[in-house]
Amino acid sequence: MNIKHSIHQAFWVSACWALAIQPAAQQPAGPPHQQHARPGGIKPAVIFVPGVTGSRLEDPATGEVLWGDATQLLSPKDRGYSTVLPLHPETSSRSRFVPTGILSHMRLLTYTREVYRPLQRALIGAGHQLGDLDHPASDKDLYYFTYDWRRENQQAVEELHQALTHLAQRRGDPRVRLLCQSNAGRICRYVAKYGGSNPAQLLSAHGDQAALTELLGSPEYSIELIVLISNSHGGALRQLHELHKGRKYVPGIGRFMGPETLFALRTLFEDLPFYRDDLFLDKDGVPLKIDLFDPESWRRYQWSIFAPEITDRLNRSNPNQMFGTPNERFEYLSERLAQARQVNRLLISDSPLPAPALCLLQNTTAPSIERALLFHDPRRRRWRLLFEGDRGVPKELKPLLTSPGDGHGTETSQNHLSSQELAAVTTRHKIKGGHFDSITKQQTLDKLLECLAFRSPP
């Protein structure tokens, strides 16, 4: 095996599973960009929100890095257990790790792979002044919001809502423009629609416009623009692929993240596809009526942590009971899927709050997982879940398993927005690169800056 070639192959990693090595640093200001200041000279605040694994995690007391070190590409060979936030994190020492910045670029041996550094340079070069979201100032108009991507998106939603409120108070200007990559699209859209409100409370007020309006109140900030970059708004079946099979970063020699490790990554469940019902076919290509958001489906068809080999592994070794008991795993899954249902229902609904202008940056030229084969194998005495590219998929069924997209979300998923949001779309840009690396492409950065030239109504 050519090790250098294998490492090079692995560097398509993105914010969905990006392993950047260096935290963001402020760059010298470049030439001015077309920005729109109020008479007092204050420009709208631009906040970039990264995708899953796009935030560096470390212990602020000791400096220990949980995520963001170059060696984590290859080791430890622990199936990713050292990164896991246990199913019951309240008493776990893993809770001490917090986000400390966005990830800039990754370096291993002689290779360097950009993640968010090109974006940082483009924004600073366009005249934006980088500030600290914890200590905002009126003369700083660029901020990075980071979050612990191991936890539920709802925690990030609440934290972003609080950060935007604090930002508006300190800057004396409520205007906000959000740049949202991958998973961040869900976080930002939710905040624009519902602020930091709890999903269950919102759904309890469903149908009662007065109660819903009272619950939402009047945010102190005003989101006037959201730039959505490589987002699977309707979810992506690729998440089930990862949750069921696990993943490896560097082919052959890299660190493997087991299905049980990804099962503990709470954000992934909200990106499961809900834009279509016929996700599964039998071995003859006939659609199956299976509810992906029913936890019994996962246990019945032995997906992810419920696969016999994973169950046996955890029966032999479950360090500090981080993955709980079989019953606790099922309860955890039930909670994750119920939460995903609630959030998806809210995101595809219109909100009493006015919708901000939307600018979409999308790629629809890469084959993306759309459906999977599911059938019982009597010889193996178990269910088999196969995706395009897996051995055993009949050639004639392969075209049914993928659709055009960005390699993660299909085109249909990328456009699965509420009617209110669709009416607020001002621009759609087709960009090059896949879901994982489009954020590094110059064309994407140019289009993003075009989006930021948007003029809000006076």
Comparing 320 with 189, the larger pLDDT belongs to 189
Cα-trace Rg, the chain? 22
Amino acid at 457: P
Total number of domains constituting the chain: 1
Q: What is the average pLDDT across 237-248?
A: 95
**Which of 11, 440, 24 is closest to 229 using CA atoms?**
440
- For residues 360-384, give the mean pLDDT: 96
Is 283 part of any domain? Answer: yes
Q: Is the pLDDT of residue 32 over 90?
A: no
Q: What is the pLDDT of residue 20?
A: 35
Query: Does residue 457 lie within any of the structural domains?
Result: no
458 falls within a domain? no
Mean pLDDT of 293-313: 97
Q: Would you say residue 245 lies in a domain?
A: yes
Do the domain assignments include residue 441? yes
pLDDT digits over 95-140, tens only? 899 999 999 987 877 777 788 999 999 999 999 999 999 999 999 9
Contact 308, 318 (CB under 8 A): no
Does 153 fall in a domain? yes
Closest CA to 30 of 132, 123, 143, 115: 123
Residue 26, CA atoms < 13 Å, CB-side half-sphere: 12
Residue type, 156: A
For range 403-417, the mean pLDDT: 97
Question: What pLDDT, on the 0 to 100 scale, is given for residue 250?
Answer: 66
Q: Which pLDDT tens digit goes with each residue over 413-452? A: 999 999 999 999 999 999 999 998 999 999 999 999 999 9
Section 10-34 average pLDDT: 38
Which residue reads 């740049």 in tokens?
179
Could you tell me the pLDDT band of residue 7, with boundaries at 50, 70 and 90? Answer: very low
pTM of the entire structure? 0.91
Span of 129-133, 145-149, 249-253 with lowest mean pLDDT? 249-253
Signed CA dihedral, 295, 300, 302, 307: sign only: positive
Range of the domain at 372: 3-452
Query: Does pLDDT of 35 surpass 70?
Result: no
